[in-house]
Structure 1
């Protein structure tokens, strides 16, 4: 009995629902604090609407959704990196802190560029077909 009480007090999250609440808090924090996350989410809606209008295949839907979530995931990792670096350097300039933050931001940019390429591969032929049919 004593072991259970001591163990319960030292557990990080005593139950699944508390872990879930912490995860939701993290998502809310990123959306509240990070302007770019809100932009990525809004911009991510554009290809979804376009996919609906252009009647893309199931595989194309999967690729688009994967790419959008990949960009959002990279933005989460970028935010984590920025916060940890700021904590370590106490918001003071350090060249290694700048490099870490720049690299993390670059990963988001590369992922977003990849997403645009995938969207182009999916949408450009469909848009061309649509334009040719309407002539």
Structure 2
């Protein structure tokens, strides 16, 4: 079990950039999750839906954001995770994953919990916002 990270209000773990997103990323995620909607792999179909290229599943963006977070804090220290989709991630995009500790509070088990505001962005456009609660070390 990893030691919880030391964190204070205002702390920002180092952001991560992922991409450019490829068709292979989307197809692999589709295979893992079973989402074979043509919006995610067929350019002509994506165009009929108003997109200039196939878009990733929202859950792919959520998974990238969760992976960034848990690489920093340890999945065993994650207590809550929720996201809100605001714009699609498309083939060729580079996404930046980031977050900030916004509050600290005692947990039910006498451990300190940090609330974090999370974001996945592309060139300044928010693709996804989120919130997580993690266990942190006193320090």
Give me the TM-score of the superposition, normalised by structure 1: 0.31
The structure having more radius of gyration, on CA atoms, is: 1
Higher relative contact order (CA 8 A, sep 6+): 2
By percentage of residues, which structure has more helix? 1
